[in-house]
Amino acid sequence: MPPRRPTQRDIAERAGVSTATVSYVLSGRRGGAKPPPPETRERVLRAVAETGYQLDHAARSLRRQRTDVVALMYPAPSSPWSDRLAEELQVAAAGRGFAVVALPVITGASTAAILRVLKQRYIDGAVLLPDCPLDGAELAALAAQGCSLVVFDDDLEPGGFDVVRQDRASACRAAVERLIGAGHRRVAFLAHADEHGGALADVKMRSYTDGLVAHGIAVDPELVRPVADSRSDAYAAVRDLLRRPEPPTALLSATDRAAVDGIWAARDLGVAVPDQLAVIGIGNIPEGLMISPALTTVGAAALDFSREVARLFERLDASAPLPGVELAATWELITRASG
């Protein structure tokens, strides 16, 4: 049987003071009035040390109507972007006494439990990376209940929450234009698999097809492969494409990882990149810089979320609700050597 956790009442008895005094000592807070004198303070702290007392988060949250916890929500699996944001958030949060919890959203698994974390006030605020499963109405409802939200989304209008614009569609389209502008007519596309579908997958696919069609190029279904989410599938698909009688001369990939695998496949077949096969990825992951030739890609230019993090804490610190604003974190075509 685990012994009952000590409460402030236990500490108070042990130290011969009231629970109010215990709370004042522990919180250091005292609404303007003087703090308890050192002697009282010490008795309390000694009792805390002796019993191993720990604050009860639920009780404090209920009473104070805030949790001092913020969340980072993102579609799983994690990425260098979500990792970096988690780090920046945690550094900023530590200085203000906030804890950070990450909420990876598993595709396919039920999202009910994870949405409960937001709706039932487990947390005071959150940063939502792109493609989280919440619509504008749900976000507005959360904001109206006092949840501080910074949301990465290219379509939503701010409304009690802030929206970070990446303009991913334009950047993806620029990649297609670059390939066609360089004279490519047979452009292959490594698409997301169906089970990794979603808004962004659609944006990527539409950028590809719209780009081709806008230049009078028919979309050849043979050149579109749903392999962008699997390294081994991507490698095999590109090898297969390059061995065809009429191989593609350019490759756009929905993920940088698959693009890198494509470059490997090309290298292993003796196909020169970019001369015989131009390759452009999407996402701008660090690995793209490591391969030779370095990967041309589409994505955010810098691994830096300081503005978004700062904005979240502005919201949390504000005494009155802040209006929703738009922040720009625009995706760009990042031209390197591969295409």
User: What residues make contact with DNA under the rule CB under 7 A?
Assistant: 4-5, 7-9, 16-24, 26-27, 29, 31, 33-34, 36-37, 40, 53, 55-56, 59-60, 62-65
Residue 108 near residue 197 (C-beta atoms within 8 A): no
Query: In terms of CB distance, is 1 or 218 closer to DNA?
Result: 1
Q: Which structure tokens are listed for 137?
A: 């109405």
Among 231, 240, 303, 327, binds a copy of itself (CB under 8 A): 231
**Residue 50 is a binding residue for a copy of itself (CB under 8 A):** no
Among 9, 42, 50, 109, binds a copy of itself (CB under 8 A): 109
**Residue 110 is a binding residue for a copy of itself (CB under 8 A):** yes
> Which of 23, 3, 2 minimizes the C-alpha distance to 11?
23
- The entry of a copy of itself, DNA, none near residue 17 (CB within 5 to 8 angstroms by kind) is DNA
Rounded to an integer, what distance in angstroms lies between the CA atom of residue 160 and that of residue 175?
Answer: 34
CA max distance for the chain: 89
Query: In terms of CB distance, is 138 or 155 closer to a copy of itself?
Result: 138
Amino acid at 226: P
Query: In terms of CB distance, is 114 or 156 closer to a copy of itself?
Result: 114
Distances (CA, A) of 2 to 5, 6, 131: 8, 11, 43
Distances (CA, A) of 109 to 18, 75, 76, 196: 48, 11, 11, 13
- The entry of DNA, a copy of itself, none near residue 117 (CB within 5 to 8 angstroms by kind) is a copy of itself
Place of tokens 């997958």: 201
**Residue 10 is a binding residue for a copy of itself (CB under 8 A):** no
**Residue 9 is a binding residue for a copy of itself (CB under 8 A):** no
Among 135, 222, 246, 268, binds a copy of itself (CB under 8 A): 268
Rounded to an integer, what distance in angstroms lies between the CA atom of residue 225 and that of residue 255?
Answer: 12
> Which of 178, 167, 166, 129 minimizes the C-alpha distance to 297?
178
Counting DSSP H helices and E strands in the chain, the numbers are 13, 12
- The entry of DNA, a copy of itself, none near residue 110 (CB within 5 to 8 angstroms by kind) is a copy of itself
Amino acid at 34: K
Chain-centroid distance of CA 197 in Å reads 17
Sketch the per residue contact string, 270 through 289, with a copy of itself: x for CB under 8 A, - otherwise.
----------------xx-x
**Residue 326 is a binding residue for a copy of itself (CB under 8 A):** no
Q: In whole angstroms, how close is the CB of 177 to a copy of itself at the nearest point?
A: 30
Query: In terms of CB distance, is 219 or 269 closer to a copy of itself?
Result: 269
Among 99, 224, 310, 322, binds a copy of itself (CB under 8 A): 99
Q: Which structure tokens are listed for 266?
A: 């090309």
Rounded to an integer, what distance in angstroms lies between the CA atom of residue 312 and that of residue 314?
Answer: 5
Sign of CA dihedral 247, 240, 230, 293: negative
Reply yes or no: is the peptide bond before residue 274 cis, omega within 30 of 0. yes
**Residue 144 is a binding residue for a copy of itself (CB under 8 A):** yes
Instruction: Give the count of residues interacting with a copy of itself (CB under 8 A).
Output: 68
Identify the three-state secondary structure at position 52: coil
Q: Residues in the site for a copy of itself, rule: CB under 8 A? A: 1-3, 5, 52, 54-62, 67, 69, 71, 76-78, 80, 82-83, 86-87, 90-91, 93-94, 97-104, 106, 109-110, 112-114, 116-117, 119-122, 141, 143-146, 231-232, 235, 261, 264, 268, 286-287, 289-292, 320-321
